[in-house]
Structure 1
Amino acid sequence: MDRTERLYRIDRLLNERGVVPLRMFLDDLEISLPTFKRDLEYLRERLNAPIVWDREARGYRFDVASTGPRYELPALWFNASEVYALLTMQQLLKNLEPGLLAPHVEPLLSRLRMLLDRGDISPAEVEKRIRFHRQAARAHDTKHFAPIAAAVLQRRRIVVQHHNRARNESLQREVSPQRLTFYRETWYLDAWCHLRDELRSFALDAIKDVKLSTNPAHEVPDEDIRQTLDAGYDIFSGKGVQWAELEFTPERARWVSRETWHPLQEGRFAEDGTYRLRVPFSNPTELMMDILRHVPAVKVLAPISLRDGILGQLQEALRSA
């Protein structure tokens, strides 16, 4: 039997018999004395099990629980593949948003580490062998995440102090949160802006103050949110969607053909090996940035306005070089 099963068996013997001799444990579990001692130490140190040796009864028993976390065995069992998946998930949670989610998920991670710290693999080993590298992530004020998440789930309005980086000015807005979105290393609040009377996406790092309101949130139908914020390319999508048609060289197609630029994209290979990609967009800013990453291995076939925008960016870069 594996370690998890042995822990449950030790617990059951103690509960059923009250006092259990050492030899009964070794025979029932079919393990050596060092293995039993390691299991006993794990139960005491990691799970706070009040197991003591009773000299008079010459056996182990449960003592009165001391101060500290209450002893209980985990209610879930996992096979090896599930353990590896959960340990990897632990790393993903830890690295998803350092400093922002850490205070909120650390209690979960602590319990997960206690649950999954097995003899054959440990969270420390996963941290060493599986790494997540994040680039271009913007810092957030961690104290704002909790009230924003609460407003999203409780369907309450919030009053935020939002900094517009383009105009370098701050403005107070009352908004009705609809959802939180993690996009390209940044958290965004999708909300109905009562100042502008429309749906907007607000980067959390641009929010300087948050106050929960007692007013209920204005509800926006899911279909309206999808059409306004999800129909086109990038997080700042909107109505008036156009379609961009791009052509990539055969060499670059080996990578691009396996990428997802947008859920509604259309892609196909031409006979000459080039790759045609069609993606919807409304605001061209972010799409142009992604296209420029592939220059000179990409051509903008349509629309002309997008092609002219790319040309203007390249000419400006040459003038400032």
Structure 2
Amino acid sequence: MSNRERLYKIDQILNSKQNINMADLIKRLEVSKSTVKRDIQFMRDSLNAPIIFDRDSETYRFETQGPGIKYELPGLWFSAEEIHALMTMQHLLAGIDSGGLIGPHIKPLLSRLTGILGTKEDSIDEINKRIKVEVIGNRQFNLEHFQVIGSALLKRKRLIIDYHARSTDETTTREISPQRLVYYKGNWYLDAWCHLKSDIRSFSVDSVKCKETLETKAEDISDKKLDETLSEGYGIFSGSNIKWVTLKFTPERARWVSSEKWHPKQKGEFQDDGSYQLTFPYSQDPELIMDIMKYGSDVKVLEPKELKEKIHKILIEAVRNY
């Protein structure tokens, strides 16, 4: 019988029987007296189990639960390896939870998991010491309206926002129906139905200022329609005018690119000379151009012609200004 099975067994015995002595527990659990005592102490200290020892009858029982006494054996029990995985996940999550929407809610769970592990070597401090997460190139921002957005999103309420578009340096006031939050390349985006434009839009959350949460129910857009509008093209940019790009990477770069995911619908294959040809759809090209150019001379645009000419023009201008 494993440790967790014994804990459930003890819980079951104490819930089904008013009192039980040590000899009966040893017999039922088929372990030593010291193991039973250790399990009971663990349940008291780490799980807040209200187990008391009645000295008169020399039996164990659950204390009658009343105000201030809260105990419930977890419905899902974790192994030490699973707890480590959860704690590690929380550590990584802290790097993307800039708005503090999730962290405060899982902090009590993290504390309980640390207690269950019960040793200094397995503590969250040790994980923080041994795992380092470096995020380079992300924008630094203060997502002061992140929780308001998250709340309206889950409660299905509309929002009145001021949105600053960096491309035009203009701020517009809009009424939106939030649909989903997306974490993409180090930044948070809000997919929403924009009632001003009567269309689906993706808003960079750090450019959103929430003015009011309305009681009006948010309009629900199907996942299929959201994906058709926002996920068919390349990257975070949406659009219905879908085109296909074909890129050819040098044999040296092909070894890396062949294992990368550029788009869910991408098609790639190695050529006879060891190069790698990659094809995928896009709608707008700003992000695509940036991602292509970072490969320098290791990539060549084969199709479409207009994208190839645009990048060529950008490179000529860059050399002229160098």
Fold match (TM-score > 0.5): yes
SS in 2 for 1:97: coil
Give the match for residue 60 of structure 1: 60
Kindly tell me: are residues 192 and 290 of structure 1, through their superposed partners in 2, closer, same or farther at Cα, counting changes over 3 Å? Answer: same
The answer for unaligned runs of 5 or more in structure 1 is none
TM-score, normalization: structure 1?
0.84
The answer for unaligned runs of 5 or more in structure 2 is none
Deviation (angstroms), 1:258: 1.0
Give the match for residue 250 of structure 1: 251
Distance 2:41 2:13 in 1: 17
Matches within 5 A, 1:5-154: 5-32=5-32, 35-65=35-65, 68=68, 70-78=70-78, 86-103=86-103, 105-106=105-106, 109-110=109-110, 113=113, 117=117, 122=122, 124=124, 132-138=133-139, 141-142=142-143, 144-154=145-155
Distance 2:87 2:107 in 1: 15
C-alpha offsets along residues 178-206 of structure 1, whole Å, 9 cap, x if unaligned? 22222112221111222233221101111
Please, which moves more after superposition, 72-81 or 180-189?
A: 72-81
- State the AA in 1 paired with 2:41: E
SS in 2 for 1:277: strand
Q: Is the 8 A contact 2:163 2:207 kept in 1?
A: yes
Please, which moves more after superposition, 16-25 or 77-86?
A: 77-86
C-alpha offsets along residues 142-173 of structure 1, whole Å, 9 cap, x if unaligned? 55333323433443321012122233343221
SS in 2 for 1:46: helix
Give the match for residue 285 of structure 1: 286
Kindly tell me: are residues 142 and 309 of structure 1, through their superposed partners in 2, closer, same or farther at Cα, counting changes over 3 Å? Answer: same
Kindly tell me: are residues 109 and 127 of structure 1, through their superposed partners in 2, closer, same or farther at Cα, counting changes over 3 Å? Answer: farther
Q: Is the 8 A contact 2:246 2:304 kept in 1?
A: yes
Q: Is the 8 A contact 2:153 2:180 kept in 1?
A: yes
C-alpha offsets along residues 66-110 of structure 1, whole Å, 9 cap, x if unaligned? 754611111224567755654554445444424433345325734
Distance 1:264 1:108 in 2: 41
TM-score, normalization: structure 2?
0.84
Please, which moves more after superposition, 274-283 or 14-23?
A: 14-23
Kindly tell me: are residues 150 and 27 of structure 1, through their superposed partners in 2, closer, same or farther at Cα, counting changes over 3 Å? Answer: same
Deviation (angstroms), 1:11: 2.0
Kindly tell me: are residues 79 and 41 of structure 1, through their superposed partners in 2, closer, same or farther at Cα, counting changes over 3 Å? Answer: closer
Kindly tell me: are residues 99 and 224 of structure 1, through their superposed partners in 2, closer, same or farther at Cα, counting changes over 3 Å? Answer: closer
Distance 1:88 1:13 in 2: 34
Kindly tell me: are residues 33 and 173 of structure 1, through their superposed partners in 2, closer, same or farther at Cα, counting changes over 3 Å? Answer: same
What value does the CA root-mean-square deviation take over the aligned residues? 3.2
The share of aligned pairs that are identical, in percent, is 42
Distance 1:98 1:3 in 2: 38
SS in 2 for 1:289: helix
Kindly tell me: are residues 313 and 2 of structure 1, through their superposed partners in 2, closer, same or farther at Cα, counting changes over 3 Å? Answer: farther
Distance 2:113 2:138 in 1: 26
Q: How many residues align?
A: 321
